[in-house]
Amino acid sequence: MKIVKFEEKYTDEMVRLYQNEYSEDETHKWSYEKAKESLETCWNYFPDYSFVALDEAGICMGGIFNLVNPYFQSDVLFVISIQVKPEYRGKGVAKGLLKKAIEVAGEKKITGVRLLTDVRKEFPKSWYEKIGLKRSGYIEYAAEIDGLDL
């Protein structure tokens, strides 16, 4: 496996994988445009932290997209997305991608890593805990705008 910086030629593949991985159901499905916009924020503004994993034949297996969050007391690598194609899961791809992003972050004196995950899903939550990430204690609140009582 080879981890390389994200290049534009991987855009369509990574956006479609992101759409599939992060759409909850048919009523909460990412459009191609919104998925691309989400990932573009990472690769346009924080290009040093976006990577893809390639197999021996140069086939893209997955990617990681991050940003550096300026809203914490110390510099923190914020993982927006780790995505691996189904046929490559369980082969260390996600771990390799995260390791590379953290290695680059460490070179730039970034000391922490954070991410959000759906706690209702055992995986990837169990994997994050297995590699040493801990729940932060923050709780996300969400609502549809028209559902607020203001």
**Within a domain: residue 106?**
yes
Domain count, the chain: 1
Q: What is the pLDDT of residues 22-58, one digit of tens each?
A: 777 666 788 999 999 999 999 999 999 999 999 999 9
Percentage of the chain surpassing pLDDT 90?
63
**Within a domain: residue 12?**
yes
3-state secondary structure of 63: strand
CA 25 to chain centre: 19
**Within a domain: residue 46?**
yes
Closest CA to 50 of 125, 101, 11, 109: 101
pLDDT bin (cut points 50, 70, 90) of residue 116 is confident
Q: Identify the domain containing residue 59 by its residue range.
A: 2-116
pTM for this structure? Answer: 0.87
Q: What is the DSSP string of 95-140?
A: HHHHHHHHHHHHHTT--EEEE---TTSHHHHHHHHHTT----S---
**Within a domain: residue 134?**
no
**Within a domain: residue 55?**
yes
CATH code where residue 6 lies? 3.40.630.30
The CA distance from 113 to 127, in Å, is: 15
**Within a domain: residue 14?**
yes
